[in-house]
Amino acid sequence: MYKYVFLDLDGTITEPEEGIINGVLYALSKFEITVEDRTTLYPYIGPPLRDSFREFHGLSEEEAEQAVLYYREYYSTRGIYQNGIMPGMEAAFQTLQERGCHLYVATSKPELYAKQILEHLKLDGYFDIIAGSTFDKSRDTKAAVIEYLLAGIAADQGKPSMDDIIMVGDREFDVIGARAFGIETIGVLFGYGSKEEFEACDCRYLAENAEEMVQIILR
């Protein structure tokens, strides 16, 4: 059994499509960029936004930073409430806690937003620590968030063994970030990644649903 369970937020714990895509559309509109099919923006869900604005819409570094600020104008007041809970996840949290697992959030989303979302969905009580990125870019990669989370656990309980930790996420960024610390990963296939994406980055475990995720954690 894995004692410490790190969970990504968007696409793993929550269904974030409406809020994130609406925020991206709002930001792109400021640059007079229109998008006919909102599903083409799904790759924005997961990685840091400033990277996505540059990669997917060719914005310069300066423009991408401004786009993030526009995005936050929308997201901080409306988008954070346009979230749902992924099927079966709350029941999974209850089962894992009953079996003695400690649950944590490790997200590239700003920590303030992550806490507000989980509080709004009444899920915040399941997590010992909710760790996210910072607005000043000092902690804006998944690896940096995991490092910060590990330090928080060490301060509270002592340094954990990496063999006791599993990272759960829906994109390759979760796998890559966890691997930097020798942490195994469960790639969930109900989010915004794909089986091919996880196979390409050698993710050890795959879960089709929350029940399979729980089985792997409690192996």
CB 199 within 8 A of CB 180: no
CA 13 – CA 181 distance, rounded (Å) = 22
Alpha helices by DSSP H, the chain:
17-29, 49-57, 61-75, 89-98, 111-120, 142-157, 172-179, 195-200, 210-217
Which two structure tokens, joined as six digits, stand for 177?
């970030």
Query: Strand, coil or helix: what is 159?
Result: coil
Told to judge if 124 belongs to the known catalytic residues of this protein, a careful annotator would answer no
> Which of 8, 10, 170, 174 is an active site residue?
8
Question: Which residues are catalytic, by number?
Answer: 8
